[in-house]
């Protein structure tokens, strides 16, 4: 299955788009509704949700209007995803006193999932076909 995904860059853009949409929904709707359970300030959650929404638009654009020269575009979203993980880690450290165990668990699992997607993206870029 991994080979099927990495052999189809268009599918990788779609996967990234769907993941970013899920993050945008969770960060912009679900988590703020239960902010005391997670501990991250709502304004920070909304900012992260906005970034995730932008990433979803970028990935959908590339999925929809796929180009032959797709590698720079996939490399771009992979790098941005890495930077997003760094930002998330910095925010977790900065707000560590406010975060609950549930909040810490959410953000750690989000970073793990994003890193898996980033590895798929770089593996797709490295393919010779």
Is residue 73 within 8 Å of 62, Cβ to Cβ? yes
Instruction: Return the structure tokens found at 77.
Output: 């979203």
What pLDDT score was predicted for residue 2? Answer: 74
Q: pLDDT digit of tens for each residue in the chain (129 aa)?
A: 777 888 899 999 999 999 999 999 999 999 999 999 999 999 999 999 999 999 999 999 999 998 889 999 999 999 999 999 999 999 999 999 999 999 999 999 999 999 999 999 999 999 976
Alpha-carbon span 25 to 77, nearest angstrom: 19
What pLDDT score was predicted for residue 29? Answer: 98
Phi and psi angles of residue 96, each rounded to the nearest 5 degrees, phi first: -60, -30
Give the helix/strand (H/E) hosting 103: helix 101-126
∠ at Cα 24 (27, 76), nearest 5°?
125
The model carries a pTM of: 0.92
């Amino acid at each position: 299955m991994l080979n099927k995904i990495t052999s189809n860059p268009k599918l990788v853009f779609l996967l990234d788009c769907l993941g970013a949409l899920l993050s945008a929904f969770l960060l912009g709707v679900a988590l703020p509704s239960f902010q005391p359970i997670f501990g991250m300030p709502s304004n920070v959650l909304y900012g992260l949700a906005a970034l995730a929404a932008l990433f979803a638009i970028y990935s959908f654009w590339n999925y929809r209007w796929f180009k032959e020269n797709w590698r720079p575009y996939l490399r771009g979203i992979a790098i941005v995803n890495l930077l997003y993980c760094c930002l998330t880690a910095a925010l977790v450290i900065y707000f560590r006193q406010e975060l609950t165990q549930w909040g810490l668990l959410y953000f750690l699992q989000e970073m793990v999932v994003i890193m898996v997607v980033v590895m798929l993206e770089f593996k797709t870029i490295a393919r010779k076909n």
